[in-house]
Amino acid sequence: MDDLQVWSQWERFIAAFERFNWMDIGIALLIFLVFLGFRKLFTTYIFKLVLGMVKKLPVATVSKILLAFEKPLRWFWVIIGTYLALTYLPFPITTFYFVQQIYKSFIIGLIGWGIFQYFSDQSNPFERLVSRTKLDADSMLIPFLGKVFRMLVVIFTAVSILDIWDIQIGAFVAGLGVAGLAFSLAAQDTVANFFGGVVIITEKPFSKGDWIQSPSVEGTVEDITFRSTQIRTFADSIVTVPNSKLSNEAITNWSKMAKRQISYELALSYRTPNEKLRVALREIEEMLHAHQGVHKDVIMVRFTEFRDYHLGIFIYFFSKTTVWSEFLEVKEDTNLQILNILEKHGIEIALPSQQIYLPEKEEGKKLMAGE
């Protein structure tokens, strides 16, 4: 818009101001209040009625779109009301270029807001991928894609608003020059973390809610963002690990266990008779095979080592459950039953000790006499 057109608009504004009438102000205010009433009527009755009808449809997409645009629609009534009220005034405010741009920006912003809400966690359209693909329900790909699209919606909305104001983004980016290069170098870690997150999600070494262990952290996966993965430790604290670091570490996913290992060495005294040891080992193995909480695939009870102060009995088996508390219950019960078997046969558990053997008395005298 050239200077001549701007000056013409101001002349019309001044001429209209000279015809100022309080009645026009009152009618304009009444128009605005009527639209506020429409807004109240729409959100309280009409919207809920339409939403109730749409929810009965077999497709849930329409209802999710309506819910996403509920708040933007409330503000839409306010914007339309103010625009029509200002249009009724004798002042040609709405013909001003910058006023028109403001209203266009508001409309673009409301549309972007609604689309942003549609890709939120509550109404993420990518959740349909779970039923149509082999992704599990806890896959972090769904919320991650939602975050990516929300970021894109924000970017496109901002670019559209800037374009309305005739701000050229391309020229602005090209004009950054050395500053842009410095920024890109500083953002290398951010880019590495982003692609680290992509690697974690596509390779799926773990899912949300899994118990994982890496050289840097152990705990339950809470969330994954563009930059990092949040893990809740067993001390109930949140540890934030950069995706670039976590994607390059060895990760043990304990939640993928079908059974849980129990393995240790039982130390028995060297004074244990051979026959008692054979019977006790056989009874311990039979007890483990009969135990309801022990997996039957692999059970080993073997006398394997002669240690410095004890006989080493290797015990190796698995619990059926992987739940921590239930696993401890199985381990406790099997330990108590092993103690009962050892007590029944009078077998002692060895303690770290040393035995000192002294020479006979006569031999000692000879040594003292120098013979």
pLDDT for 172 equals 54
Beta strands 294-306 and 218-224 are unpaired
Band (371; pLDDT cuts 50, 70, 90):
very low
Band (367; pLDDT cuts 50, 70, 90):
very low
pLDDT for 186 equals 52
Tell me how far apart the alpha carbons of residues 64 and 59 are, in angstroms, rounded to a whole number. Answer: 10
What average pLDDT does the segment 330-347 reach? 96
Cβ proximity of 162 and 104 under 8 Å? no
Cβ proximity of 144 and 224 under 8 Å? yes
Q: Using alpha carbons only, what angle is made at residue 203 by residues 217 and 214, rounded to the nearest 5 degrees?
A: 15
Band (34; pLDDT cuts 50, 70, 90):
confident
Beta strands 211-213 and 294-306 are unpaired
What average pLDDT does the segment 162-188 reach? 61
pLDDT for 112 equals 92
pLDDT for 14 equals 58
What's the chain's average pLDDT? 80
Of the candidates 14, 31, 148, 149, the one whose C-alpha atom is nearest the C-alpha of residue 90 is: 14
pLDDT for 292 equals 95
Tell me how far apart the alpha carbons of residues 106 and 266 are, in angstroms, rounded to a whole number. Answer: 75
Tell me how far apart the alpha carbons of residues 144 and 224 are, in angstroms, rounded to a whole number. Answer: 7
pLDDT digits (tens, 9 = 90+) for 2-11: 555 554 555 5
What average pLDDT does the segment 155-172 reach? 79
Q: Is the pLDDT of residue 187 over 70?
A: no
Please count the other Cβ atoms lying within 10 Å of the Cβ belonging to residue 317. 22
What average pLDDT does the segment 60-67 reach? 77
Ranges of H-type helices in the chain: 3-18, 22-41, 47-54, 61-68, 70-88, 97-118, 128-132, 141-164, 169-174, 178-186, 188-203, 243-246, 274-290, 324-344, 361-369
Percentage of the chain lying above the pLDDT 70 cut: 74
* Least confident stretch, 92-96, 282-286, 325-329, 341-345: 92-96
Tell me how far apart the alpha carbons of residues 93 and 87 are, in angstroms, rounded to a whole number. Answer: 7
Q: Is the pLDDT of residue 193 over 80?
A: no
What average pLDDT does the segment 321-343 reach? 94
What average pLDDT does the segment 316-342 reach? 94
Q: For residue 53, what are its two tokens?
A: 């009808």
Of the candidates 208, 197, 186, the one whose C-alpha atom is nearest the C-alpha of residue 241 is: 197
Q: Is the pLDDT of residue 84 over 80?
A: yes
What average pLDDT does the segment 270-275 reach? 92
Which position has the higher pLDDT, 55 or 102?
102
Domains of the chain (ranges; CATH) run 3-125+158-165 (no CATH), 188-255 (2.30.30.60), 258-344 (3.30.70.100)
Band (219; pLDDT cuts 50, 70, 90):
very high
pLDDT for 237 equals 92
User: How far is residue 369 from each of residues 357, 358, 361, 362, 364, measured CA to CA in Å?
Assistant: 21, 17, 13, 11, 9
Of the candidates 115, 94, 225, the one whose C-alpha atom is nearest the C-alpha of residue 160 is: 115
Residue type, 205: P
Burial of 85 (0-12, 13-18, 19+ CB in 10 A): buried
pLDDT for 202 equals 74
Transcribe 207-250 into DSSP letters: -TT-EEE-SS-EEEEEEE-SSEEEEE-TTS-EEEEEHHHHTTS-
What average pLDDT does the segment 242-263 reach? 89
pTM of the model: 0.53
Q: Is the pLDDT of residue 122 over 80?
A: no
Percentage of the chain lying above the pLDDT 90 cut: 30
pLDDT for 166 equals 79
Cβ proximity of 281 and 275 under 8 Å? no
Tell me how far apart the alpha carbons of residues 112 and 103 are, in angstroms, rounded to a whole number. Answer: 14
Q: Is the pLDDT of residue 94 over 80?
A: no
* Least confident stretch, 118-122, 155-159, 218-222: 118-122
Which position has the higher pLDDT, 167 or 8?
167
Q: Is the pLDDT of residue 288 over 80?
A: yes
Q: Is the pLDDT of residue 291 over 90?
A: yes
Q: Residues near 208 by Cβ (< 8 Å), separated by ≥ 6? A: 138, 139, 140, 221, 222, 223, 224
What average pLDDT does the segment 99-110 reach? 90
Which position has the higher pLDDT, 347 or 123?
347
